[in-house]
Homo-oligomer: A and B are copies of this chain.
Amino acid sequence: MGKQEKTAISPTRAEDYSEWYQQVVKHSDLAERSPVRGCMVIKPWGYAIWENIMRDMDAMFKETGVKNAYFPLFIPLSFLEKEAEHVEGFAKECAVVTHHRLEKGPDGGLIPAGPLSEPLVVRPTSETIIGESFSRWVKSYRDLPILINQWANVVRWEMRTRIFLRTSEFLWQEGHTAHATEAEAMERTHVMLDVYARFVEQVLAIPVIRGKKTPSERFPGAVDTLCIEAMMQDRKALQAGTSHFLGQNFARASDIRFQNADEIEDFAWTTSWGSSTRLIGGLIMTHSDDDGLILPPRVASAHVVLLPIFRKEDEKAPVMDHCRKLAKEMRGIDYHGRRLVVEVDERDIGGARGWDWIRKGIPVRVEIGPRDIAADAVFVGRRDRGHREKTAMPRQEFISQITAVLDDIQQGLYDRALAFREAHTRSIDLRKDFDAYFTPKNAGRPEIHGGFALSHWCGDEGCEARIKEALNVTIRCIPLAENTAPDDGACVCCGSPSPRRVVFAKAY
């Protein structure tokens, strides 16, 4: 191994993946921990990614007929209790509002006052409160389907938090639909999974596996949970979106009834589906390298930074002026439905600027000095290539090629992530190979294990639990049938017959 080059992020992924992640977040200025336990502050560079996610995903929802609405932040405790599995699933992590004002306490400080007659839970998810509205909105089959989404904050009081991946408060969207028939609700569950898969692959450049959760991994109260699963660079799986078929469970709990065309009363069939700021965590862990964040252009906070270069004071004004003009011209260019975002870094801090933007993951860096201006050229670096690999280009060619360059970066990131997943996915039939695959080779680097195993599972929850107990490996999903040929075999745990392989992995 040759001389190790110094990286912009320390430790590297290989040295300490978990700490590398925290350092990438910090040095890219995406977000930070707040003084409020488990809650994060999403800084402008990070929030811009969320704005891009919201805009593009929202457009895809609307294409399928979904409309946005907004429901209360607070859920009366009695509502949450209506669905037994549901409340059981969330009771341990609920922020509870018990008072509605503050007053002076005996020692002069403020204390909670005005106790509420019924405690309110800060929504961990909104099936029960939205169900109550649906029960009033639906009377006849003519009122169905209802296709609603809300962009909101939710709170799940987590004991161990990790920025973007697991925080007590996070931002998300939650879709809720109600239908007259089981088939239609099931179709909607699949339609929304397909939206998530297309969005995550096309916009975030993260390849995903579409599948169904086993009963033990289902959303509390759901009949079926569909999911998309992605592989991070530590070879662990990240669930990137879920779509739940709720059957009539929540309709019964919330009393969502309707008269069908034959005037027979029935409960509606409902679905819910969600994705969150966790996607940003997945984005970081899929693409970034030891120099920091790498942003796919379609979701990047900004696309291009112009770095004016000058040595003498009298060079400054013409170089700045040239850069501002170029930025203005480029900001008129359309890139996948939004205007190109072009930054001009006018800070007087020399070479440190370039590394700043590398760590922030901007797709394209452009250096422009007096000699470039004289030659009507620009000097271009791409974040998906080595930081020394820069190319001189005629200015006009650069402008006319920029969207193609961005698309090339986007596709390259996707291809690289897909190749990584394929290199670390293996069909495994024998339990001893399975154990070896998931056993870290080096005790100091627990993240270095095999990756995804495609192995047979008989369907028994006991086998699933024993593997989890032994290896901390779980079934991430049963891949959707349309993507997998029938493949009879024997359960990797007990040897019983199995109709198809499932995806086993360690997971976030």
Contact = CB atoms under 8 A, between A and B. Distances in A.
B36 A72 contact: yes
A303 to B, nearest CB: 16
Contacts of A228: none
Given A91-B101, A157-B101, A112 B96 contact: yes
B44 A68 contact: yes
Given A101-B91, A101-B92, A122-B122, A133 B41 contact: yes
B99 A44 contact: no
Given A41-B70, A70-B42, A35 B98 contact: no
A34 B72 contact: yes
Q: How many copies of this chain sit in the oligomeric assembly?
A: 2
B72 A169 contact: yes
A491 B40 CA distance: 52
A461 interface: no
A97 B122 contact: yes
Nearest to A42: B70
A25 interface: no
Nearest to A67: B44
A364 interface: no
Contacts of A91: 101-103, 110
A169 B73 contact: yes
Interface in A8-65: 32, 34-36, 39-44, 47-48, 50-51
Contacts of A41: 69-72, 133
Interface in A133-189: 133, 148, 152-153, 155, 157, 169, 171
Contacts of A93: 100-101
B98 A96 contact: yes
Question: By CB atoms of chain B within 10 A, which of A34, A36, A75, A91 has the most?
Answer: A36
Contacts of A77: 102, 110
A109 B119 CA distance: 12
Contacts of A94: 100-102
